[in-house]
A and B are shown apart, each in its own frame.
Chain A
């Protein structure tokens, strides 16, 4: 390949952008490493399969600036979002890119909200993929792939995640949704098949999380974030 010479030349210079690949599937990982390494100006410094390995490796790479590619489908308890979050806190100077396959805007919103600087999809053309890595290395926010057409939706999704109602547990949301019908704690309890006492505990915890003092204020917040619809037209 005619590019090999260029690669060998730049391999000796320290100016190549260091990339760390976090990808659980061996074959995909090998493909990524080969593709990135063969590209002028980029080099893979490490390629690992899990969040745990990834956390260990970054510390040992003495680079001030890395592009870390995190596949969204990481197995185990410490998933990709956990890893993105952990990287963001510990290495504010590095560039973190989420990587998925036909990822939906919601997954991308979550990755960006968690701390990713961009998102690349595995189904883009190789050139576009590499261009996205380089642009990310230049501090650009990149979204490469089908979701690039949904920037507005992604932004909306990020805003929704900021809303306090997002921090409610599934059960708490359920309670709040039923509460929006104007039922008493007793009636909510009957509906959900739990004890009244459990419902009042949930409500108290919901008010605490939302920083409100009563049900009306809680419902107003919930309505604003689209969790419940006050007009009952859902």
Chain B
């Protein structure tokens, strides 16, 4: 291997990768996003405090959202296999040195994704601030897949009242159907699906 770089462990699955980081404590993890048992993001979020200081992600695909997601999970570099494998040693050295390594285009796309995230968060918070506590409860239950009748009995109110809340929710979310409501609410981060 290259001078100054030694491979201390290797893994072929997500589970093994997490275990390898735990036992070998490498300074750098080079992580393929496409693993047979789970995706690389899963590895990054499972690592917790055994996450190596430097993480370089190798992936088949790259777009702003994927890169931002990797950055949020502590990755420092993101390169596609087509491009990144060409001069991996240099890339590794840069990542270890603390540089953020990705193409300028990817970097720009990741910033675009950050802007979209901020806008969604703001809009979500605005919509949410305009909901009454009861409407929030109803929305949570709608997101959980409960029927009007089930929501009514859970909250101890009449189905008719639930329908009124639902109608108001639709108006505040700017949607016309239940599916749209749930998808919009999920986009805005108001419910977890």
A residues lining the B interface (CB < 8 Å): 88, 112-118, 140-143, 148-149, 151-152, 154-156, 158-159, 161-162, 164, 167, 207-213
CB of B97, distance to nearest CB on chain A (Å): 12
Is A162 a contact partner of B100 (Cβ separation < 8 A)? Answer: no
Decide yes or no: A152 and B108 within 8 Å by CB, A141-B114, A162-B121, A209-B133 being known contacts: no
Known interface pairs A115-B122, A152-B74; A211-B136 also in contact (CB < 8 Å): yes
Residues of the A chain whose Cβ atoms lie less than 8 Å from the Cβ of B114: 112, 141, 143, 151, 154-155, 158
Write the chain B residue with the least CB distance to A213.
B137
Chain B neighbourhood of A112, CB < 8 A: 114-115, 118
Alpha-carbon gap, A207 to B133, bound state (A): 8
Chain B contact surface mostly: helix
Query: Cβ of B117 and Cβ of A155 under 8 Å apart?
Result: yes
In the complex, the answer to whether B131 meets A211 with C-beta atoms within 8 Å is yes
Residue with the greatest number of chain A CB neighbours at <10 A, chosen from B68, B71, B118, B125? B118
Chain B residues near A209 (CB-CB < 8 A): 133
Q: How far is the CA of A187 from the CA of B67 in the complex (A)?
A: 47
Interface residues in chain B, defined as those with a beta carbon under 8 Å from any beta carbon in chain A: 68, 70-75, 98, 100, 108, 110-112, 114-115, 117-118, 121-122, 124-125, 128-129, 131, 133, 135-137, 139-140, 155, 189
**A-B residue pairs in contact (CB < 8 Å), sample of 15:** A115-B122, A141-B112, A141-B114, A141-B115, A151-B111, A155-B114, A156-B72, A158-B114, A159-B121, A159-B189, A164-B128, A209-B133, A210-B136, A211-B137, A213-B155
Pairs of residues from A and B, 6 with the lowest C-beta to C-beta distance, nearest first: A211-B136, A152-B71, A141-B115, A112-B118, A162-B121, A208-B133
Residues of A within 8 A of B115 (CB): 112, 117-118, 141
A115, A158, A207, A210: the one contacting B117 at CB < 8 Å is A158
Interface residue from B71, B98, B128 paired with A155 (Cβ < 8 Å)? B71
Asked if B111 and A140 sit within 8 Å, CB to CB, the answer is yes
Selected contact of A113 from candidates B72, B110, B118, B131, CB within 8 Å: B118
Query: Looking at the complex, which one of A88, A141, A162, A207 makes contact with B189 (CB distance below 8 Å)?
Result: A162
Chain A at the B interface: SS class: helix
Given contacts A156-B72, A158-B121, A162-B125, contact A143 B111 (CB under 8 A): yes
CB of B121 within 8 A of CB of A152, answer no
Task: Please give me the residue from chain A that is nearest to B124 by CB atom.
Answer: A162
Nearest CB in chain A: distance from B106 CB, A: 12
In the assembled complex, which residues on chain B have CB atoms less than 8 Å from the CB atom of A117?
Answer: 115
Q: Does B137 lie within 8 Å of A212, measured CB to CB?
A: yes
Cβ of B68: which chain A residues have Cβ within 8 Å of it? 151-152, 155
Output the nearest chain B residue to A159 by Cβ-Cβ distance: B121
Q: State the Cβ distance, B4 to closest chain A Cβ, in Å.
A: 23
Q: Do residues A113 and B140 form an inter-chain contact, with CB atoms below 8 A?
A: no
Q: How far is the CB of B22 from chain A (nearest CB, A)?
A: 19
Partner pick for B140 among A140, A207, A211, CB 8 A cutoff: A211
